[in-house]
Amino acid sequence: MVAKRLIVASHGEAATFAASVGVSAAEGDIPGDATTSATISVGQTVVGELEVIGDSDWFRIDLTAGQTVSISLSGSGAGPVEDTYLRVRDGAGRLIAENDDGGTDLNSLMRLTADRTGTYYIEANSWNGQSIGEYTLSVSEAQPLELYSLDQIANQLTSGYWGGNERAFTQPIFYEFVGLSQGEERLALEAMQYWATVADIDFSPASSGSSPANLIFQNSEEGAFAQSSVQFGNGGIVSSTVNVSAAWYAQYGSTLGSYTFQTYLHEIGHALGLGHAGNYNGAASYANDATYLNDSWATTVMSYFDQSENTYFSQQGFNSVYVGTPMLADIVAIQNLYGAPSTRTGDDIYGFNSVGIDAVFNATLYPDIAYTIYDSGGHDTLDYSGFAADQVIDLRPEMYSSVGGNIGNVAIARGVILEDAIGGSGADQLIGNDVTNVLWGNGGDDVIDGGILADILWGGDGNDTLVGSAGNDTLRGEAGNDTIDGGASWDYLFGGPGNDTLTGGNGNDGLFGDAGDDTLDGGAGADLLRGGGGEDYLDAGAGNDVIKGEWASDTLLGGDGDDIILAGDGLDTVIAGSGNDLVYGEAGRDTIYGADGDDRLYGASEDDLLVGGDGDDELFGGAGDDRIAGRAGNDLLTGGAGNDLFVFGDYGAGNVDTITDFQEGDKIGLDRSLLFGTIDKLGSLDLGAFRYGTQALDADDRILYQSSTGKLFYDADGNGALAPVLFAQITPGTALSAQSFEAFGNAAPPPFASGAEPLSGADPLFA
């Protein structure tokens, strides 16, 4: 046993001491196995030395299950280890993690999460044991990984991996195939083509003499790799070689959807100047070697980690699927080096029914593949109509779509605008972008959001949810029980068949329920609401609206504003709301309430109930035996044809209603609660309670009629002590008697017309 001098720093403070370690006197070194007594703790830094070629030092460390630490190994001192190599072993000495160049330059850096509580061993070594010199080993509590932006990832690809220096071809690229089979050549050509569609790069075949090859493809060596000759100083790539072995091609497939094709994309990325997504090479794991959360194939083909190994994406449901194009960060990176191209400027369709574009985007040929779309112009469509799985189709750049049963497998590159999207037969979610979109849900219970600007949304079959958001949108639910929200601006909403819910939101909207029992809410703005077939509920909300119930028995609410309401066919209920409203009951026996404002209510041909409410209203019963009540305000009441009942329940100054056409068969209804004991058991007015003139002579005289003026008064006490109250005006000279009146209160009176409902004390007229 000998004493070996170690330098240990804890929490940033350096200390020098002699530590007794288990090494043999002959070797004079820390053992490279589990017999070591050298230790390191979390928060410490140790300086050691590899004395001879092949030397390795083991340090024991105790960790707790679930604890995550960061381990770095770097060359240091006057004679540093040139290329460090870091390994971690479990308590039995079995290798569980390793790292070569995860740190800066050729230094090592890794994260480790302990899967159990106990002893682990950290091995300080060099690449292939070929270097000697001093090293610094540090262990610290790992900080949570950061979510990188695409620009941060692109910077890692173009310069971070290369130690801060970019590299790229500065002259035309001429390629040559050496020994490749026809199938291998096809994959290499396709991979070059996909890089050329996302960057301003031209690949041309080499020819002897005028254009010698500076990009060589070979299959003669094992594995897959790329290497480049780079000019010192300016980073210009002189030449690159891509090797994908014949065995690799045989093992990993020969199609565009294969891992072999992804390998060609990856290695050509290196040949063009891109490094790895992290400082790893040869082998790596997400748990140990990732330095940011979204290091994955989902963001870059230059990553080592598929979508499911990366826990950031796997926790969002992403599944592992091979990559068929440069991905989001790759496109940013390669355009930083070479500039942007003009690619696909026509009206292109991606997915099903695609014609004349790259095969990887054809969902019939390659339904299970990940790709990023780069498109320079035209009116373009994502068509995933052939898939039955539930999908997310997102037209926003730099967002992920989930199509064909995969999660997160399609993305749209930065700055790319695609206009339209078509869903499949599953329950899809379609999301629009910042331009005018046409979004088709097709079958299934879809959720469709148009985003800003004027969009057209089609729900298709199923119970769909359509949201227009901003912009002047057209939303069509079509079949199924749909929920449709126009959002801001001026929208048109069509429910289609089914029991739909339509909400106009802000703006001057048009809401059309069509068939089914629909609910329409106009919201703010001057809206047009049409219920269509079925028993609909229409609420116009604020604004000067036009409402039409159309067929069946509907409920129509005018809300605020000066509204025009047409009840349509059926037994409709109308509440005009505040504002000066115009209401037509149209066909069917309707119940119409004017509510606030100076309203005009028309009953049409059936036995209707018209109630004016507050304000100076005009009520027209039309044909049929109607019940007409002006309520508060000085109202104008016209019964029209039929035996009509004019109802008075509010007495007092400033509340005098005028009956324009009282005729034989009509009745005047009086609120019983104001007439005390003058009611017989049938509810008609007692003969003694009615008197011609303007002065009550005895206690029975309650209703006074001045024929010469047509004025009707109510006397509260019947003896003239209290001045009679004028409550109605009819045509002067009209003949009246006690039988011209009906009194209503707690007991229900008889019907006023055959087949009509009796007016009871619980009737809302007297509420």
- Element at 118 (helix H, strand E): strand 118-126
Residue 267 catalytic?
A: yes
Residue 410 burial (CB < 10 Å; 0-12/13-18/19+)?
Answer: buried
Reference 40, options 138, 141, 118; nearest CA is 138
CA distance 453 to 727: 56
CA distance 130 to 81: 9
In Å, how far are 224, 560, 662, 672 from 743, measured between CA atoms? 100, 34, 17, 5
CA distance 729 to 731: 7
- Element at 535 (helix H, strand E): none
DSSP category for residue 48: E
Contacts of 132 (CB under 8 A, 6+ apart): 49, 50, 51, 52, 53, 55, 79, 81, 126
CA distance 45 to 87: 16
Say if residues 368 and 401 touch (Cβ distance below 8 Å).
Answer: no
Q: Which two tokens stand for residue 348?
A: 């292109």
At residue 168, the 3 state secondary structure works out as: strand
Contacts of 702 (CB under 8 A, 6+ apart): 675, 676, 678, 689, 690, 696, 714, 715, 716, 718
CB atoms within 10 A of CB 657: 27
Helices in 307-460 by DSSP H: which ranges? 311-314, 328-338
Q: What is the DSSP string of 179-197?
A: S--HHHHHHHHHHHHHHHH
Say if residues 667 and 741 touch (Cβ distance below 8 Å).
Answer: yes
CA distance 221 to 223: 7
Q: Which two tokens stand for residue 12?
A: 């940033």
Catalytic residue among 190, 267, 550, 606: 267
Provide φ and ψ at 59, rounded to 5°. Answer: -120, 135
In Å, how far are 41, 114, 118, 120 from 64, measured between CA atoms? 12, 6, 7, 10
Reference 762, options 671, 696, 641; nearest CA is 671
At residue 467, the 3 state secondary structure works out as: strand
In the block, residue with structure tokens 């044909």 = 623
CA distance 204 to 569: 74
List active site positions. 267
